[in-house]
């Protein structure tokens, strides 16, 4: 066979190595070859690894992963397919914070009664670039030893790549420090939430509004299951954009305020979020924060946050509740942590990671507020941390016990 320039094209022998159709190019110049899945094209971000064995669809739609490329340490991703229910991003549009994904094994045909679409088709629909055939254990070890690194992920069915250009693009990427990634994932307007937790017999439930505790959830990239468990606990939930003022929130007469999870550097988001949180704390509104919300509360108290080497990403992290002595198996997703030494004496550490001793929770002694770094709405334990929603409800009820109906069973 002849090409246009007259050169003879080589036909690969049956035993020849297949041509790579995807590349992961790290900022240090390392090029990892593989095979494309999902959206064709190029995406970039910070590479992290996630150790969960299940829940890949929830992970890939978690807005907290905005600006990141997720490497799964579990090799068999996609074998249960995807569906239209296990989404965590609040927006229904085909958008996700995840820039790309790295998988070890080729994706097989789905085998699950709830599956409605192959992972490859689902990734294409959501615009997520993926690569398979990667030694994810080696990549994970690299991140473990050297920290999370920026990279470019490219998918081309023809295997045609400008490697020098990809290396230059990866090297030029801005670090996660200083990036406010909340604006693309927050709500654009206030909305009410009524969906409750999943039941295998009926699916997701719903509760009527108007007789529960009024909770205003500030959306920094909130996950749906957090809102479901708030509703399940008997709360009338209103979700508001991340830039909503303290005055607008107080005008809603909330019984409590929830500070959601989200992506990016908390110090960057804190430029507009911290003054609002401080004002709400000064109003003594019962407040509960998760993940980024926990970090922002720490900043509002005068503390500081630090960038972690590889962060915590997985569904098998042991965290100790120092108030009860119990150890919980929790889900985590964060690359920054609150420095407990920077907090005032009125902020008491309540939870700690048993992996590295990092701070995972705090409560205030002078105001009705607490927060945790992990995700109590997830189900790794499976319900080890659901008591935190009950704790929040009890904190709100303490202020108005005579007017609040009990939560749904």
Please state the separation of Cα 276 from the chain's center in Å. Answer: 23
> Per residue in 156-202, pLDDT tens?
999 999 999 999 999 999 999 999 999 999 999 999 999 998 888 88
Catalytic option among 312, 351, 374, 375:
375
Among 291, 313, 317, 386, the active-site one is 291
Residue 254's Cβ-count burial label (10 Å; 0-12, 13-18, 19+) is buried
The position carrying tokens 């954009």 is: 241
Supply the pLDDT for residue 94: 62
Determine the Cα–Cα distance for residues 249 and 212; give it in Å rounded to an integer.
17
pLDDT score, position 200: 81
Say what the pLDDT of residue 378 is: 87
Do 191-397 and 22-171 have the same topology in CATH? no
Question: Which CATH code fits 22-171?
Answer: 3.50.30.20
Give the model's pLDDT for residue 25: 98
Indicate the pairing of strand 203-206 with strand 191-193.
unpaired
Orientation of helix 292-300 relative to helix 266-282, angle to 10°: 60
- Pairing, β 256-259 against β 22-26: unpaired
Sequence spans of domains, the chain: 22-171, 191-397
Residue 390 annotated in active site: no
- The parts of the chain modelled with pLDDT lower than 50 are 1-12, 403-409
191-397: CATH number: 3.40.50.880
List the structure tokens of 26.
């790290």
Q: Residue 15 has what pLDDT?
A: 58
**Residues 345-368: b if buried by 16+ CB within 10 A, e if exposed:** eebeebbbbeeeebbbbbbbeebb
User: 375 an active-site residue?
Assistant: yes
pLDDT digits 0-9 by tens, 163-173: 999 999 999 99
pLDDT at 6: 37
Q: How far from the centroid of its chain's Cα atoms is residue 89's Cα?
A: 9
Look at residue 217 in the predicted model and tell me its pLDDT. Answer: 98
Contact 259, 296 (CB under 8 A): yes
User: Which entry of 46, 88, 328, 377 is annotated as an active-site residue?
Assistant: 377
pLDDT for position 355 = 96
Is 247 catalytic? The answer is no
């Amino acid at each position: 066979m002849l090409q246009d320039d007259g050169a003879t094209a080589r036909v690969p022998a049956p035993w020849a190595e297949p041509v790579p159709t995807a590349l992961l190019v790290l900022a240090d110049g390392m090029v990892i070859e593989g095979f494309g899945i999902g959206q064709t094209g190029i995406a970039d971000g910070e590479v992290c690894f996630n150790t969960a064995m299940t829940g890949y669809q929830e992970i890939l739609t978690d807005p907290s992963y905005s600006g990141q490329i997720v490497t799964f340490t579990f090799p068999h991703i996609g074998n249960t397919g995807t569906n239209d229910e296990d989404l965590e991003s609040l927006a229904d549009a085909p958008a996700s914070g995840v820039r790309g994904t790295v998988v070890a094994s080729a994706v097989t045909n789905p085998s699950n009664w709830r599956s409605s679409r192959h992972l490859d088709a689902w990734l294409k629909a959501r615009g997520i670039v993926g690569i398979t055939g990667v030694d994810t254990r080696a990549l994970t070890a690299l991140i473990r030893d050297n920290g999370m690194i920026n990279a470019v992920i490219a998918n081309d069915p023809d295997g045609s790549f400008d490697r020098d250009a990809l290396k230059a693009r990866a090297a030029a990427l801005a670090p996660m420090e200083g990036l406010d990634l909340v604006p693309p994932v927050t709500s654009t307007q206030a909305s009410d939430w009524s969906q409750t937790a999943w039941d295998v017999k009926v699916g997701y439930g719903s509760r009527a509004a108007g007789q529960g505790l009024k909770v205003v959830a500030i959306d920094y990239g909130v996950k749906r299951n957090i809102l479901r468990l708030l509703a399940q606990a008997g709360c009338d939930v209103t979700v508001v954009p991340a830039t909503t003022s303290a005055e607008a929130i107080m005008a809603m007469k909330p019984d409590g305020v929830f500070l959601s999870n989200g992506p990016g550097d908390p110090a960057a988001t804190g430029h507009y979020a911290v003054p609002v949180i401080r004002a709400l704390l000064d109003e003594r509104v019962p407040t509960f924060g998760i993940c980024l919300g926990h970090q922002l509360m720490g900043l509002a108290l005068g503390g500081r946050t630090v960038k972690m080497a590889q962060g915590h990403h997985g569904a098998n992290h042991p965290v100790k509740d120092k108030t009860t002595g119990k150890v919980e198996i929790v889900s985590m997703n964060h690359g920054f942590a609150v420095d407990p030494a920077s907090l005032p004496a009125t902020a008491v550490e309540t939870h700690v990671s048993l992996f590295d001793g990092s701070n995972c929770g705090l409560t205030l002694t002078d105001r009705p507020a607490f927060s945790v770094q992990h995700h109590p709405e997830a189900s790794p334990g499976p319900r080890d941390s659901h008591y935190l929603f009950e704790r929040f409800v009890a904190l709100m009820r303490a202020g108005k016990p005579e007017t609040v109906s009990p939560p749904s069973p």
